[in-house]
Structure 1
Amino acid sequence: MMPLKEGDKIPHFTAKDASGQLFESHTVFGKKAVIIYFYPKDNTPQCTVQACGFRDNYSGFLNLGVDVIGISVDDVASHQKFIQKFNLPFTLLADTDNSIRKLFGVPSKIFGLLPGRVTYLVDSDGIIQKVFDSVLGMKHVTKMLETIKK
């Protein structure tokens, strides 16, 4: 699958959230602006920095009219612990079979051993406005804040 890029519409997908409820993308995308970020794994250093960065800036994102959703291959139980441990206020989705990652065309890093870290800014029409790819978690938070404030 070709990677999604700026100007593309978010495809429909479903996943379990951290409470085990079914998340359907069409209930959010196309209704409000959202940052959707793919990260490798719960409780790893860069992923924790990134999640806590989004947490610490979450009210600022909401005030700018943008919600945040994180996605990794971790299961519902792992996401529940990650949310509780770091008091994360936003939705985490379990992509245990990598189907959403493949749908978005998120590349793997380090010889394909590590799932990539890519963040998308999606407008209220469900159109991607910004794609950011970096191994450094906190850079995703600062890049999204800069982009939204422009």
Structure 2
Amino acid sequence: MRIGTTAPDFELADHSGERRALTELTAAGPVVLFFYPAANSPICTAQACHFRDLGTEFERLGAQRIGISTDTRDRNQHFALQRAFDFPLLSDSDGAVAEQFGVRRGGWLTRKRRLRELERGHSTAARRGLVRQLLSVKRTTFVIDRHRVVRMVVRSERGHVHATKALDYLRYLS
């Protein structure tokens, strides 16, 4: 997904089970959509907590923060409750939305394929499949305007830079 392109619409359940659609979210103002690989991992926790801690700043600028991962709704719910997040965490468990946004890591091994490789004596097949599952998306943040146009993209595995860069961009616009 590049700057200036229209973000694909999607509808996913958040950590509380409520269905959220991108068109509805952007109708209320800009959306800062951040993809994170795995709930409760150290870098993802730091990334999401930084978005939480800067919440007042984002609200002043009229922007909504939305986290999205391939974790299950239950895992996201635990993560949100444990860290007192005041924004929705969406569950993209099949990776379809990550694929649309171009942040899904390639080469996912299906369970069937992993078993087949194990039968053939490839000892690293299961481990490789687990790593790819844990790191299923590239840590990426999108600033999306009311018309679903992508205005900024942050691509970095350093979790603490995403909220700061998105916030700096939103300040620049206002």
Do the aligned partners of 2:34 and 2:140 also contact (CA within 8 Å) in 1? Answer: yes
Of the three residues 44, 48, 62, the one matched with 2:59 is 62
Give the helix-richer structure, 1 or 2. Answer: 2
Alpha-carbon distance between aligned partners in 2 of 1:104 and 1:29, rounded to the nearest angstrom: 16
* Structure 2 unpaired stretches of 5+: 107-127
TM-score, with structure 2 as normaliser: 0.79
User: In the alignment, what sits opposite 2:155?
Assistant: 133
Q: CA deviation at 1:108?
A: 2.3
Given the alignment of the two structures, is residue 46 of structure 1 paired with residue 68 of structure 2, yes or no? no
Greater CA drift, 128-137 or 21-30:
21-30
Given the alignment of the two structures, is residue 98 of structure 1 paired with residue 95 of structure 2, yes or no? yes
Alpha-carbon distance between aligned partners in 1 of 2:85 and 2:28, rounded to the nearest angstrom: 23
Superposed, 1:26-37 pairs within 5 Å as 26-37=23-34
**Any idea what SS the aligned residue of 1:23 has?**
strand
TM-score, with structure 1 as normaliser: 0.91
Do the aligned partners of 2:95 and 2:104 also contact (CA within 8 Å) in 1? Answer: no
Alpha-carbon distance between aligned partners in 2 of 1:128 and 1:85, rounded to the nearest angstrom: 31
How many residues matched? 146
Alpha-carbon distance between aligned partners in 1 of 2:148 and 2:162, rounded to the nearest angstrom: 20
User: In the alignment, what sits opposite 2:5?
Assistant: 8
Alpha-carbon distance between aligned partners in 1 of 2:9 and 2:28, rounded to the nearest angstrom: 13
Q: CA deviation at 1:30?
A: 4.3
Do the aligned partners of 1:39 and 1:47 also contact (CA within 8 Å) in 2? Answer: yes
**Any idea what SS the aligned residue of 1:130 has?**
strand
Greater Cα radius of gyration, structure 1 or 2: 2
User: In the alignment, what sits opposite 1:20?
Assistant: 17
Alpha-carbon distance between aligned partners in 2 of 1:147 and 1:106, rounded to the nearest angstrom: 21
CA RMSD of aligned residues (A): 1.6
Alpha-carbon distance between aligned partners in 2 of 1:36 and 1:141, rounded to the nearest angstrom: 10
**Any idea what SS the aligned residue of 1:101 has?**
helix
Alpha-carbon distance between aligned partners in 2 of 1:24 and 1:142, rounded to the nearest angstrom: 25
Greater CA drift, 111-120 or 29-38:
111-120
* Structure 1 unpaired stretches of 5+: none
